[in-house]
Amino acid sequence: MKQKRPSDKSEVKSIQGKKSYNKDSSGKNISGSDSRRKQDTKINKKSGKPRNTQNRSHKNKPYEPVGPKFPSVLEDLISQFITEKTGKPYQDQIFLDRLRQAIVAQKAAYWREKPGKSVKYGRGYDILAYLAYQVPVYFTQFRSLLQNLKPESILPHDVVALDIGTGPGVVPLAIIDIWKDLKKGYLDIYAIERSVEHIEAYNYLTREYTKDKPDIRIHDVIHDDLTKISDASLAQLPEHVNLITFQNVLAELEHLSIPTRAAIVCSFTKRLTDDGLLIIVEPAEMRHATSLRLLQNELIKNGLNIYSPCAYLWGSGCDPSSCWTFKEEPPIQATSLMTLLAGEEEAYRFINTDRKYAYAILTKKQINACAYRIPRKTRMVRLSHMEKNEGRSISVAGLRMSEDIGTKGMHIFKFCDGTCREPAYLVLSARNRRPGHGALFSAKYGDPLTITGVQVRRHKQHKAWNLVINQDSRIERPDTGGMIPRANTSEPDTYTDHEDHFSPSNSHTNNSDDNFHPVEIITNRTVSSVDRGVGKETKSKRSRNKKSGQ
């Protein structure tokens, strides 16, 4: 039961070489893969099909490996499963043509469906297309997420894992792959899935991948629907679980309210041990990423605690209704099957390598991956108090919650201290960049930063804040020591920020930066997509400078 994030309509394009958020032609905010696709693909009005205005030989040049590789053992197992399922080798041209049609149909169905309706993966080539196109990225991104948690220290010696909406077993395969390297105790894996075809693939892949591994036990998949799971199915689950995972599953439940989705999750977390983790991963698309943050808040109300990526540096919560943040990692190398599918015509439609996803990790303990907390006596200003400080030069602290989403001449990063009511962005003009700003670029997603001397600028149209960094601004990575208990958000907010000593200042600040807002990059550019996209960027740097008076 998986939410499939196709790449054609969910791509994050770049202006002058920098990656950014975007919108599709219908006005929906999107993000995702196929970022190598050229911006000048236009739609033929008569046929409704894309036409390429560039040299095809350049567009379809061989894919160049740039990131991690999907394990060759798993790639071989998928090929073997396909051969056994179809009775034909996966190199067969008739098979490849049918698989291409299935991939295109799935992506078209995703964008055709209304919110609340999931893409159905029924029989035959639907499952094979998922294995060929989606599994390598989803496997690699979850493995990376778990690996970055340092599982050797955060996971107990013996682990009982439950993957809900497992599909063909992407998450279990990633856990197994890490477990082989850890060489810890035993690993028990339970899973729930509603699709019989997915269960067939799950059984083949997981059991073949754990041959000669007696310390890894794969239990029979529970065939049921998580929204109406039966008592008989629940009785098959263990009483205590160390790891519960939902990857690209809860996004399919858009027809259910956030509290209802939280109740479904909590019905399983009752089995979570005190040292266990709940990991939820969703597509990077705006509506799914924002829904995840809303769900995260609801789960906190139900007694869970956020471990990563968010941190409430002031000890109080935020309003996530406008929160759109996701992690981006280097793209994986295309698999052999992707390369075969790519062929020579419109190769980008069948190369799915980008890793962009939103996630939340929660636990029953009051611990957080970010150990830094803002001191009680501080000159830092909360991001929820930007309205009181508009035009002033202030000091702030928060987490870097995006990669650089700016343009060639402007660096932009999403920024959050856990109090935001509206989005906040760090904005640094390339000509103002100094060695003292290095921490901003070396920090990773979710890392804390303290910044002194940023100017507060408001963008009324998009209801967001720019924190403009100038030449004299100082950016530092605070000493976080080690993991510490998360602040209790139910306690009264007793912190003090000394705002009144700040005075307006315009020194070392670009006028063009004052009115510049990253949302202009986000919302004023559309990129063409395979089935229905038009246009290129609609606002150039020159027009922005002209608007700001330069």
Indicate if 331 and 427 belong to the same structural domain. no
pLDDT value of residue 335: 94
Indicate if 528 and 396 belong to the same structural domain. yes
Indicate if 318 and 452 belong to the same structural domain. no
Question: Over 90: is that where the pLDDT of 548 sits?
Answer: no
Question: Does 19 fall in a domain?
Answer: no
Question: Over 50: is that where the pLDDT of 21 sits?
Answer: no
State the pLDDT confidence band at 320, using cuts at 50, 70 and 90: very high
Question: Over 60: is that where the pLDDT of 326 sits?
Answer: yes
Mean confidence (pLDDT) of the chain: 79
Domain of residue 302: give its range: 109-368
Last residue in a domain, options 320, 347, 368? 368
Indicate if 361 and 385 belong to the same structural domain. no
pLDDT value of residue 65: 53
Mean pLDDT of 402-425: 94
**C-alpha closest to that of 149 among 47, 277, 51:** 277
pLDDT value of residue 64: 55
pLDDT tens, 92-112?
888 899 999 989 888 877 666
Indicate if 293 and 331 belong to the same structural domain. yes
Give the lowest-confidence range in 16-20, 263-267, 442-446. 16-20
Question: Does 55 fall in a domain?
Answer: no
Residues 6+ apart with CB under 8 A from 114: none
Give the lowest-confidence range in 18-22, 168-172, 289-293, 355-359. 18-22
Indicate if 533 and 467 belong to the same structural domain. yes
pLDDT value of residue 147: 93
Question: Over 80: is that where the pLDDT of 55 sits?
Answer: no
Question: Does 66 fall in a domain?
Answer: no
Question: Does 404 fall in a domain?
Answer: yes
Question: Does 161 fall in a domain?
Answer: yes
Q: What is the pairing mode between strands 496-497 and 377-378?
A: parallel
**Cα separation of 537 and 550, whole Å?**
21
Question: Does 45 fall in a domain?
Answer: no
Last residue in a domain, options 348, 368, 388? 368
Indicate if 398 and 258 belong to the same structural domain. no
Question: Does 541 fall in a domain?
Answer: yes
Last residue in a domain, options 320, 344, 368? 368
Indicate if 400 and 527 belong to the same structural domain. yes
Instruction: Please state the domain count of the chain.
Output: 2
Which residue is listed with tokens 């032609």? 25
Give the lowest-confidence range in 10-24, 241-255, 527-541. 527-541
Indicate if 354 and 431 belong to the same structural domain. no
Residue 303, Ramachandran bin (φ over 0: left; ψ between -120 and 50: alpha; else beta): left
Whether residue 418 contacts residue 316, with contact meaning beta carbons closer than 8 Å, is answered with: yes
Question: Does 15 fall in a domain?
Answer: no
pLDDT tens, 520-544?
433 333 222 222 222 333 344 444 4
CATH of the domain at 329: 3.40.50.150
Indicate if 389 and 359 belong to the same structural domain. no
**Cα separation of 279 and 257, whole Å?**
20
Which whole-number Å values give the CA distances from 75 to 116, 132, 272, 335, 475, in the listed order?
Answer: 32, 9, 33, 7, 44
Indicate if 336 and 409 belong to the same structural domain. no
Angle at 179 between CA 162 and CA 446, to 5 degrees: 75
pLDDT value of residue 66: 67
pLDDT value of residue 503: 31
Which whole-number Å values give the CA distances from 442 to 321, 330, 399, 446, 483, in the listed order?
Answer: 29, 15, 13, 12, 21
Question: Over 90: is that where the pLDDT of 168 sits?
Answer: yes
State the pLDDT confidence band at 235, using cuts at 50, 70 and 90: very high
Whether residue 20 contacts residue 326, with contact meaning beta carbons closer than 8 Å, is answered with: no
Indicate if 217 and 264 belong to the same structural domain. yes
Mean pLDDT of 438-458: 96
State the pLDDT confidence band at 319, using cuts at 50, 70 and 90: confident
Question: Over 80: is that where the pLDDT of 120 sits?
Answer: no
Q: Residues 252-280, buried b or exposed e (16+ Cβ, 10 A)?
A: bbbeeebeebbebbbebbebbeeebbbbb
CATH of the domain at 508: 2.40.50.140
